[in-house]
Amino acid sequence: MRLFLLGAPCAGKTTLMAPLRRELTCPVLDMDEEILRVNHGVWPHLDRKRGQTRHLIAELSEQRDVVLAYSIIDDEDVTRLREKGWCIVLLDLPEAVMRERAAERERREGWSNIQWLPTHIQHIERLRGRDAFDAVLDATRPVEELVAGVVRLAEPSRPGPPPGPPAGSRAPGPHPAPPAAASPP
């Protein structure tokens, strides 16, 4: 299974990496880690990062079984992933929760990328309008439930609970738009 996890900043992508790596037999990759890897641990300038992201998605889209998490994909990447048979999953949560998580990250780690949040929300809503998501997971659910949902999507033949929507999932399609972007607290 080829699974792309899309989530805006503070949706929980990084939090899911370690438990998914323990649960799944396929590679579970965080695009930010991949970008750092190809740049020998140095975060590139935004223009260079965009080009590297496109190259990495093209390269990784050829893998047979992989889970890849990132915060943004463009229409060309969506088309490429679709043509290669990828399942695109949104980690969805309200903007207020993302802002709370960003404030906690700022306190805990001394940094946050919340300034990009309005752009990500607009992008996600545009992708929703294109029905780009095969599944939408409620990223406010406990980590264990999210991991179980991703595992069921990545390995549908794995024994487990009866078939049905993954834990915390919603059917893709129109959802209420998030509130207008507010200034960070």
43 in a structural domain? yes
pTM of the model: 0.82
Q: What six digits make up the tokens of 11?
A: 């949706």
Beta-carbon contacts of 181 under 8 Å, excluding residues fewer than 6 positions away, are: 95, 117, 118, 121
Per residue in 21-71, pLDDT (tens digit) is: 999 999 999 999 999 999 999 999 988 988 999 999 999 999 999 999 999
CATH number at residue 94: 3.40.50.300
Tally of domains within the chain: 1
Low-confidence ranges of the chain (pLDDT < 70): 158-185
Per residue in 62-71, pLDDT (tens digit) is: 999 999 999 9
Query: Residues 44, 46, 49, CA angle at the centre, nearest 5°?
Result: 60
141 in a structural domain? yes
116 in a structural domain? yes
24 in a structural domain? yes
97 in a structural domain? yes
